[in-house]
């Protein structure tokens, strides 16, 4: 039996002290296998965003363990967690978070600049990532010259350009209309299936969650239940 890529055991998260303390997570147990496509759902305050922040190495548990590839992340310092993020994780956000005055190609190159890659290698890797999202012909356009769906494709290309093991997507279709949302979900599903990248996605939209292989529901700081997605129009592997 393969070991989980990600494992949370008894994870709690408390903010504040004394009477002002808030217990965001109350003992989360969660295993995610490599290559899975996971949708995380739940009402506001359920703990899903706190959990995603921990999985993205942007926060640490108050108690409990977080293992990534067998490494206890809760024991890493800030610099070590930052290195883990750069090497293994890619992020996609609801608001795209593209630099307005730079081209699609330059936006996608950004993570590679932080990694110190040479200009030629950055260019080639960024163009390859844009090719995967179908935007090679738009590489020299700025965000203002792109539709919302195209901007999110650029953001996805930026997230995958360094070949991360895990893509964390926070409401990736939240700013898109229905048709563009389906296109983005089909793109993420394709990347998951063809590249083997593990996708963790927070969403409030049940129709979008069905594209995932696994749907995890949070409630009151705990995992309430887990179910299998349906992937409309696609066969489960």
CATH classification of the domain holding 144: 3.40.50.300
Q: Report if residue 234 sits inside a domain.
A: no
Per-residue pLDDT tens digits for 27-59: 999 999 999 999 999 999 999 999 999 999 999
Q: Is the confidence at residue 194, as pLDDT, over 50? A: yes
Q: Give the CA radius of gyration of the chain.
A: 18
What pairing do the DSSP bridges indicate for beta strands 37-41 and 198-202?
Answer: parallel
Q: What is the mean pLDDT of residues 205-228?
A: 94
Q: Report if residue 85 sits inside a domain.
A: yes
In terms of residue numbers, what domain contains 124?
6-228
More confident residue, 2 or 147: 147
Q: Is the confidence at residue 236, as pLDDT, over 60? A: no
Q: Is the confidence at residue 233, as pLDDT, over 60? A: no
Residue 19 pLDDT? 81
Q: Report if residue 1 sits inside a domain.
A: no
Q: Is the confidence at residue 9, as pLDDT, over 70? A: yes
Residue 230 pLDDT? 66
* Burial of residue 207, with CB atoms counted within 10 A of its CB: 0-12 exposed, 13-18 middle, 19 or more buried: middle
Residue 193 pLDDT? 93
The whole-chain average pLDDT of the chain stands at: 92
Report which of 173, 214, 199, 209 is spatially closest to residue 89, judged by C-alpha positions: 199
Per-residue pLDDT tens digits for 98-141: 999 999 999 999 999 988 899 999 999 999 999 999 999 999 99
131 backbone dihedrals φ, ψ, rounded to 5°: -65, -40
SS (H, E, C) 121-188: HHHHHHHHHHHHCCCHHHCCCCHHHCCHHHHHHHHHHHHHCCCCCEEEEECCCCCCCHHHHHHHHHHH
Per-residue pLDDT tens digits for 151-181: 999 999 999 999 999 999 999 999 999 999 9
Count of CB atoms within 10 A of residue 85's CB?
A: 17
Q: Report if residue 233 sits inside a domain.
A: no
Residue 33 pLDDT? 95
- pLDDT over 70 percentage in the chain: 96
Which residues are CB-neighbours of 120 under 8 A, at least 6 positions away? none
- pLDDT over 90 percentage in the chain: 86
Residue 235 pLDDT? 45
Q: Report if residue 162 sits inside a domain.
A: yes
Count of CB atoms within 10 A of residue 28's CB?
A: 24
Q: Is the confidence at residue 237, as pLDDT, over 70? A: no
Among 120-124, 133-137, 195-199, 233-237, the minimum mean pLDDT is found in 233-237
Q: Report if residue 150 sits inside a domain.
A: yes
Q: Report if residue 236 sits inside a domain.
A: no
Residue 114 pLDDT? 84
Q: Report if residue 237 sits inside a domain.
A: no
Q: Which residue has the tokens 């978070």?
A: 97
Q: Is the confidence at residue 234, as pLDDT, over 70? A: no
Interior/surface letters 125-151, b for 16+ CB within 10 angstroms, e for the rest: bbbebbebbebeebbeebbeebebbbb
Q: For the chain, what is the domain count?
A: 1
């Amino acid at each position: 039996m393969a070991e989980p890529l990600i494992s949370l055991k008894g994870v709690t998260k408390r903010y504040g002290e004394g009477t002002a303390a808030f217990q965001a997570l109350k003992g989360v147990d969660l295993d995610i296998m490599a290559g899975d496509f996971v949708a995380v759902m739940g009402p506001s305050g359920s703990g899903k965003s706190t959990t995603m922040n921990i999985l993205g190495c942007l926060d640490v548990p108050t108690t409990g363990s977080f293992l990534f590839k067998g490494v206890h992340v809760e024991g890493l310092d800030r610099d070590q967690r930052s290195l883990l993020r750069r090497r293994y994780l890619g992020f996609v956000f609801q608001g795209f978070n593209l630099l307005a005055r730079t081209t699609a190609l330059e936006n996608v190159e950004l993570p590679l600049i932080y990694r110190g890659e040479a200009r030629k290698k950055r260019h080639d890797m960024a163009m390859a990532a844009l090719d995967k999202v179908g935007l090679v012909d738009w590489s020299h356009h700025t965000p203002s010259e792109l539709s919302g769906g195209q901007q999110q494709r650029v953001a996805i290309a930026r997230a995958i350009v360094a070949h991360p093991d895990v893509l964390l997507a926070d409401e990736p279709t939240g700013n898109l209309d229905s048709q563009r949302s389906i296109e983005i979900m089909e793109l993420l599903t394709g990347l998951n299936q063809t590249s083997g990248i593990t996708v963790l996605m927070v969403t409030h939209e049940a129709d979008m969650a069905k594209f995932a292989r696994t749907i995890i529901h949070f409630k009151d700081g705990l995992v309430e239940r887990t179910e299998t997605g349906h992937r409309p129009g696609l066969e489960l592997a």
